[in-house]
Structure 1
Amino acid sequence: MNRGAARQTIFRDSDCYTAFLDALAEAHSRFDLQIHAYCLMGNHYHLLVHTPRGNLSRGMRHINGVYTQRFNRLQRRDGPLFRGRYKAILVDADSYLLSLSRYIHRNPIETRKPLVGELEDYPWSSYPAYLNRVSLPEWLYRDFVYGALGRRNKFQAYRDYVEQGVDADIRAFYQRQRQAPIMGDDSFRARVLGEAGEISREVPRCERMLQVPESSDSLVAVVAEAFDLAVADIYARPGRGRGAWNPARALAMWLCQERAGMTLAEIGRLFGGIHYSGVSQAIRRLKGRLAEGEDGLKEIKVVMSMFSS
């Protein structure tokens, strides 16, 4: 889940909600995120997600970053939207997935002032799809939750289950001032922490971060989206006499170096066959302007905020 910075509204109209759902669809397609439930509220959102490829950070960075860009464009604003990195909780699916989906779906009425009279009338959660009242997005996975109910009439069974209210242990978990990063019994927590410890001992942190480098194409696509440019325009080598500084191109080069682990020579070949010294100069110039706090760098700052987690 994540909240707006200073609890500001992050969904102001239907276009904003739709833009966020589009980002979910893209995250499913690009990163194989399996979304079991969602609820979009005015100043925060909840997602129940499974990541078969273990790439939650990349998927969430895409969702938060791309949505921030689109929100800013829709609302004619700039700057960060969310208060920081998303809050992730590792869940014992066998024990808690069903009850957690209920907690998420009941959000619109579990407030001081309920947003709807009937929960199924709230359009910005996956609950209507669970009741088969709206078409099912291809990226929404309902079967695991239905399977936990173990009844034939899954739509009515799930409605009955949700109407019973939130479990006391789930409510207590979310009411804590500091929530634990793991939701499960002692044996589940011990198993998770034990596996994490073994990985940490076997692979140094810096190497773990570089095990699955991000592709140059995906990085350049993020920059193109932020600057409202075509990807080809960022890759293209400037013609003669066009030596003016190109912040989008410089940022893309820097990300390819930092996030994709590419050498300056490799980046030069990718960006139109320029010499590696030209790549170095562009990156150095970008860092200098950021360090000096120059105005007019809002797109760069938005993109960089996506990679801060």
Structure 2
Amino acid sequence: MNRGLARQETFLSADCYSAFLDTLSESHQRFQVHVHAYCLMGNHYHLLLHTPQGNLSRAMRHINGVYTQRFNRLHGRDGPLFRGRYKAILVEADQYHLSLTRYIHRNPIETRRPLADQLEEYPWSSYPAYLNLCKSPGWLYRDFTYAALGRRDKYRGYRQFVEQGVDEEVAAFYERQRQSPFLGGEVFQEEMRSRLGEIPPEVSGVAGDGDTSVGYVTIVEVVAMVFERQADDLYKRSAPGRSGANPARAVAMWLCQDLAGMTLPEIGEVFGGVHYSAVSQAVRRIKEKVRGSAELSRLFEAARVKVSGRGL
């Protein structure tokens, strides 16, 4: 979960909500993140994620960082959007997964001023998809929740479950000023503390992020190898009128943004001191070219996989 800096709004229009959902889709594709539930509110969001590869920090860096860039571009602003990286809680799935989806989905009507008359009418959560009222995105994992519910009439059964209200135990957990990084039974919490410490880096999102990130030097080297170019060629600014002649350079910029978490000005400085707007344009153009070319798509995916493997 995360909130806007100084409680500022993080979603100002339908375009903002859609842009955030795009980042969730990308996190599933690039980091194999399983999204079990989500709810996007005016100044914060809730996500229920499973990261089989143990790469939560990298996935969240992509979600927060890329969405902030998209938000800023939509509204002509710059600077940070969220008050921090994120807050995460490690959950004992067998015992609390189902109740936690209910807590997340009930957020729009549990506020002082409800955001919808009927919960299923709120469009920016996964609840309508759980009721089969809209097409479920391919990256939304509902089956684990339905299995935990144990009802043949899963859509009607899940609606009835959610309408019962939030569990007192879960509500009390979130009302505490100082929350535990673990939500689970005593045995689970003791085991997690013995294995991970009181606040494990991968859960807190504060410490340890730098340990799993990948640097731009590695990205450039890998992209150069995949595209059969010299690494030095990727750092050089293109001659006027030939900005599209070096797709490897643009791919490296793209991966620096997505996998290294670099800002556009930082990328511009690395790649010959180009303006951040030029970086943005180069990344946008290479994305279009990758979508339209099977060969470029193959090379991009090969580079991304190799870079991700080195960064883990």
TM-score, normalised via structure 2 length: 0.68
Check 1:12–1:217 CA distance in 2 against 1; reply closer, same or farther (3 A cut): farther
Deviation of residue 196 (structure 1)?
A: 2.0
Describe the superposition over 1:215-243 as per-residue Cα deviations: whole angstroms up to 9, x where unpaired: 759978xxxxxxxxxxxxx93523689xx
Tell me the equivalent position of 2:75. 75
Check 1:219–1:5 CA distance in 2 against 1; reply closer, same or farther (3 A cut): farther
Counterpart contact for 2:37–2:125, Cα < 8 Å: yes
Describe the superposition over 1:176-216 as per-residue Cα deviations: whole angstroms up to 9, x where unpaired: 1111110011100111122225xx9xxxxxxx878755375
Describe the superposition over 1:121-164 as per-residue Cα deviations: whole angstroms up to 9, x where unpaired: 00000000000000010000001111111110000000000000
TM alignment of 1:1-309, pairs within 5 A: 1-196=1-196, 213-214=213-214, 216=216, 235=234, 237-238=236-237
Q: What amino acid does structure 1 have at the position aligned with 2:109?
A: I
Distance 2:89 2:179 in 1: 9
Check 1:13–1:299 CA distance in 2 against 1; reply closer, same or farther (3 A cut): farther
Q: What amino acid does structure 1 have at the position aligned with 2:50?
A: H
SS class of match (1:108): helix
Unaligned runs of 5+ residues in structure 1 are 201-207, 221-233, 242-247, 261-270, 272-281, 287-295, 301-309
Distance 1:135 1:75 in 2: 29
Q: Which runs of 4+ in 1 moved over 3 A?
A: 208-213, 215-220, 296-300
Q: What amino acid does structure 2 have at the position aligned with 1:88?
A: A
Distance 2:97 2:148 in 1: 8
Distance 1:76 1:209 in 2: 29
Give the number of equivalent residue pairs: 238
Counterpart contact for 2:3–2:45, Cα < 8 Å: yes
Distance 2:65 2:213 in 1: 18
Distance 1:4 1:175 in 2: 19
**RMSD (Å) for aligned C-alpha atoms:** 3.4
Q: What amino acid does structure 2 have at the position aligned with 1:133?
A: L
Tell me the equivalent position of 2:284. none
Q: What amino acid does structure 2 have at the position aligned with 1:16?
A: C
Larger radius of gyration: 1
Counterpart contact for 1:2–1:44, Cα < 8 Å: yes
Counterpart contact for 1:34–1:50, Cα < 8 Å: yes
Counterpart contact for 2:16–2:71, Cα < 8 Å: yes
Counterpart contact for 2:58–2:209, Cα < 8 Å: no
Distance 1:25 1:16 in 2: 14
Counterpart contact for 1:79–1:298, Cα < 8 Å: no
Q: What amino acid does structure 2 have at the position aligned with 1:99?
A: S
Q: What amino acid does structure 2 have at the position aligned with 1:68?
A: T
Tell me the equivalent position of 1:276. none
Check 1:164–1:210 CA distance in 2 against 1; reply closer, same or farther (3 A cut): closer
Check 1:111–1:15 CA distance in 2 against 1; reply closer, same or farther (3 A cut): same
Distance 1:65 1:145 in 2: 29
Counterpart contact for 2:37–2:49, Cα < 8 Å: yes
Check 1:121–1:239 CA distance in 2 against 1; reply closer, same or farther (3 A cut): closer
Counterpart contact for 1:11–1:43, Cα < 8 Å: yes
Counterpart contact for 1:131–1:159, Cα < 8 Å: yes
Distance 2:209 2:134 in 1: 40
SS class of match (1:49): strand
Check 1:216–1:29 CA distance in 2 against 1; reply closer, same or farther (3 A cut): farther
Tell me the equivalent position of 1:267. none
SS class of match (2:68): helix
Unaligned runs of 5+ residues in structure 2 are 201-207, 221-232, 241-248, 262-266, 280-312
